[in-house]
């Protein structure tokens, strides 16, 4: 059973081992995180005991059952089922009332998300976010990936425009031109995490940049 006192790393609870929940839990487990998983399906839970001893079958997600599992001691709990709105909403309410510091809930619609937010959860829309990332990649041929962190802050992975090859970061000044910041540069097996002003862009550079949607789109279209 997890405890939040005097520990060095965060612990994570995953409720629901559907496609989204299983993928999330597996990624966390393989990264070495301490996780607890709950699901009604005995087979899914049994299979996941390969990755954590804290995998429990829960036929009910009422407040007492959740408390008995010890999931309230996790730093983050992600509610991964969104199809049954009543279960999603009640589980969110129960976790918040149990004092979980960070409750993250998957929403199936904007209305569902509004309710979860009012209950105190951080809301994620996996299907919408995947669609947004794909849309932005289709809009700009050089954009390899796109993540929306908020309405004003996004991260994009894109091929460096040919017009900047041979020029320095200071000379190109992407911040002034497009309002974006370079987070890192990848070229082959080399990743530069601290990009200095005198760095000279090379052919094949992949840029990781942050900024608003408009600036990132303009950069991706720059010839």
In terms of domains, do 89 and 189 share one? no
Q: Which of 105, 124, 143 is the last residue of a domain?
A: 124
In terms of domains, do 157 and 209 share one? yes
Bridge partners (DSSP) of residue 143 are: 158
Instruction: For residue 64, give the nearest of 101, 91, 37, 100 by alpha carbon.
Output: 91
pLDDT, residue 103, reads: 94
Bridge partners (DSSP) of residue 102 are: 76
Chain centroid, CA 5 distance in Å: 25
* Mean pLDDT across 36-40: 95
pLDDT, residue 212, reads: 82
Separation CA 104–CA 84 (nearest Å): 16
What CATH number corresponds to the domain at position 81?
A: 3.40.50.720
pLDDT, residue 6, reads: 47
Separation CA 223–CA 219 (nearest Å): 9
* Residue 105 in domain: yes
Instruction: For residue 208, give the nearest of 124, 130, 147, 131 by alpha carbon.
Output: 147
Pick 4 or 57 by higher pLDDT. 57
Residue ranges in the chain assigned as alpha helix (H): 19-30, 42-48, 63-69, 85-97, 110-118, 126-139, 169-172, 174-178, 213-220
Question: Rounded to two decimals, what is the model's pTM?
Answer: 0.59
Q: What is the pLDDT of residues 198-210, one digit of tens each?
A: 999 998 888 888 8
* Mean pLDDT across 143-164: 70
Q: What is the pLDDT of residues 161-171, one digit of tens each?
A: 888 899 999 99
């Amino acid at each position: 059973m997890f405890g939040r006192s005097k520990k060095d790393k965060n612990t994570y609870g995953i409720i629901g081992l559907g496609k989204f929940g299983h993928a999330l839990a597996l990624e966390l487990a393989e990264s070495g995180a301490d996780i607890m998983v709950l699901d009604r399906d005995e087979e899914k839970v049994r299979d996941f005991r390969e990755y954590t001893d804290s995998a429990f079958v829960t036929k009910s997600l009422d407040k007492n059952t959740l408390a008995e599992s010890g999931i309230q001691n996790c730093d983050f709990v992600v509610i991964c089922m969104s199809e049954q709105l009543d279960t999603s909403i009640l589980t969110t309410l129960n976790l918040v009332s149990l004092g979980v510091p960070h409750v993250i809930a998957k929403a199936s619609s904007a209305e569902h998300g509004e309710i979860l937010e009012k209950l105190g959860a951080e809301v994620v829309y996996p299907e919408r976010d995947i669609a947004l990332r794909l849309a932005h990649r289709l809009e700009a041929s050089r954009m390899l990936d796109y993540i929306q962190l908020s309405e004003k802050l996004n991260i994009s992975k894109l091929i460096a425009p040919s017009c900047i090859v041979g020029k320095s970061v200071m000379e190109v000044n992407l911040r002034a031109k497009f309002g974006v910041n370079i987070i890192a540069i990848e070229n082959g097996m080399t990743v530069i995490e601290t990009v200095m002003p005198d760095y000279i862009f090379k052919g094949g550079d992949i840029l990781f940049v942050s900024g608003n949607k408009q600036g990132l789109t303009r950069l991706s279209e720059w010839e």
